[in-house]
Chains A and B, each alone.
Chain A
Amino acid sequence: MSPKALLARVLERDRGRLLAALIARVGDFQRAEDALQEAAVSALVHWGRAGVPASPAGWLLRAALRKAIDGYRRDATLARHRATLAVLAAEEAADPDPQTIPDDRLRLIFTCCHPALEEKTRIALTLRSLCGLTTPQVAAVFLDAEPTMGQRLSRARAKIAAARIPFAIPGPEDLPARLHSVLTTVYLIFTAGYAQGPDAGIDLCTEAIFLARLLVQLAPDQPEVEAALALLLLTHARAAARTGPEGQTLPPSQQDRGLWNRGELAEGRQLLDRAVARRAPGPFQIKAAIAALHTQDNGPDWPQIAALYARLYDAEPTPVIALNHAVALAESGGLAQALAQVEALTPELDGYQPFHAVRADLCARSGQTGAARAEYARAIALAPSPADRSFLQARLGMLG
């Protein structure tokens, strides 16, 4: 394998560990990034000439540390850097050949997902720093131009330094909220993966599952973390069955269960059981429980699902959760209550395609044919794909 190809592979696999280890020592996110970049450039030259080292990742870490020290020396007139410089130089002298790179990725995830950064930035920074995506790849996820994404990432690192966002695992009082922020970012990466077409270069669902597994490994015995991984696995298990033969999106109850990944389902259920047994409930445990109920062999337990959505709404009072609750209510025989709940969501969800599709269906089942027709028209106009449009048109046709 050419040095260039090997370097690309090492960076893709180890960027997270290397970056985290560097930030821990160098004390500055941007300096650590720059040092790693310079080390990579250096690697291309040296590995080409002297051959590939036994531990490429170790080589990169050592080289990056030296680049960081050089950087601090150039700025050594600034008194505040002298302390860092002394610590770094001592470390470099003491451990000239770091074969094992300690895992500081948990601190890195908490930094990337800090609430002081906006949601899009958290996702972008996490994908870049922990998943080893290149800046162009991250830009493609958001359909942004590469320089725009580059600027977003630079500004984020500058803010982390300027506002002094700490490179640390939050203390016990802050941990639940901060963990929720991390898990939500991971979940958003997963759902973005679901929205991606089949032509997407990077499978974000795979990246999200990687992050969730990393979190389970680095932050063990945390029920919300276990539940988040369970949720991703239970959802991903149904990926192959999500689109029907004509290309329309199918809800779990209409999917071909033969296409479900039994291994992911089993692992998801096991993780969920483990999480719930710790008796510390939380929103991700509820979401995972709902996902698990959708995959039961004898059909979804709609009253249970409705009850869980009601509890989830208490923790996260969002209109989309209220909408999903209404769907479960309707399936449990509470059609009138469900319709009333959906109507009440009009100011917040008008223009949101699933809202109109749900409302159309509930109106049709309640005999409100005129309203159903109007809602189907909205849902069709907003439909994400031609297959979904024809599916809704067929239902509209059945109204007579």
Chain B
Amino acid sequence: MKYLLTLYAAPGAEPAPGTPDFDAMMGEYFSLSERMTGTATFLAGEGLQGVETATTLRKRAGRVETMDGPFAETREHLGGFYLIEAADLDAALRFAAEIPAARYGSVEVRPVMDY
């Protein structure tokens, strides 16, 4: 079963780029899918650029409306995602627990629609 893991963190919660902590964190991210072999399968994952680069679009009554910024102003910002294949929720949660963002922010774990 596929799960989407979305990573949220408050700005400044993560180690700043250039610091040894940041390098250690990136090392964890890069090795994550390999370390999780047997628990869950990595299908896709990316880090996102900051919310200041986001644009939100709506179409109402045929008119496109674009807005500068993320869909919602939240304290913790969406920073990245993983798409994984896991046998059950426990396996997905075990994968999520290894994501560095779980320490600095929150990770939402949601099953993907099975049409």
Contact = CB atoms under 8 A, between A and B. Distances in A.
Nearest to B93: A116
User: Which of B89, B109, B111: most chain A CB closer than 10 A?
Assistant: B89
B78 to A, nearest CB: 20
Interface stretch (A161-169, A221-229, A320-328, A359-367): A161-169
18 contacts: A116-B89, A116-B93, A163-B89, A163-B109, A163-B110, A163-B111, A164-B87, A164-B89, A164-B111, A165-B88, A165-B89, A165-B90, A166-B87, A166-B88, A166-B90, A168-B88, A168-B90, A174-B94
A116 B1 CA distance: 17
Interface residues on B, range: 10 to 19
Contacts of A166: 87-90
A174 B111 contact: no
A170 interface: yes
B102 to A, nearest CB: 14
A163 B96 CA distance: 14
Interface in A146-201: 162-166, 168, 170, 174
A161 to B, nearest CB: 10
B90 A174 contact: yes
User: Which of A114, A162, A174: most chain B CB closer than 10 A?
Assistant: A162
Contacts of B111: 162-164
Nearest to A160: B89
B48 to A, nearest CB: 24
Given A163-B110, A165-B89, 15 more contacts: A116-B93, A162-B111, A163-B109, A164-B1, A164-B87, A164-B88, A164-B89, A164-B111, A165-B90, A166-B88, A166-B89, A168-B88, A168-B90, A174-B90, A174-B94
Contacts of B90: 165-166, 168, 170, 174
Nearest to A116: B89
Contacts of A114: 89
Interface of B: 1, 87-90, 93-94, 109-111
Contacts of B110: 163
User: Which of A116, A163, A168, A170: most chain B CB closer than 10 A?
Assistant: A163
A177 B51 CA distance: 35
Nearest to A162: B111
Interface string A99-129: 0000000000000001010000000000000
A164 B85 CA distance: 12
A116 B87 CA distance: 16
A168 B88 CA distance: 11
A78 to B, nearest CB: 10
A125 to B, nearest CB: 16
A174 B91 CA distance: 11
User: Which of A162, A164, A166, A170: most chain B CB closer than 10 A?
Assistant: A164
Q: Which 7 A-B pairs have the closest CB atoms?
A: A166-B88, A164-B88, A163-B89, A165-B89, A163-B111, A164-B89, A164-B1
B68 to A, nearest CB: 35
Nearest to A174: B90
Contacts of B93: 116
A172 B89 CA distance: 16
Nearest to A114: B89
A113 to B, nearest CB: 13
Nearest to A161: B111
Contacts of A163: 89, 109-111
A331 B111 CA distance: 53
A282 B18 CA distance: 41
Contacts of A164: 1, 87-89, 111
Contacts of B89: 114, 116, 163-166
A250 to B, nearest CB: 44
A164 B91 CA distance: 10
Nearest to A164: B88
Contacts of B88: 164-166, 168
A166 B92 CA distance: 11
Contacts of A168: 88, 90
A116 B90 CA distance: 9
A107 to B, nearest CB: 13
User: Which of B1, B88, B90: most chain A CB closer than 10 A?
Assistant: B90
A322 B4 CA distance: 39
A165 B89 CA distance: 5
A179 to B, nearest CB: 14
A162 B89 CA distance: 10
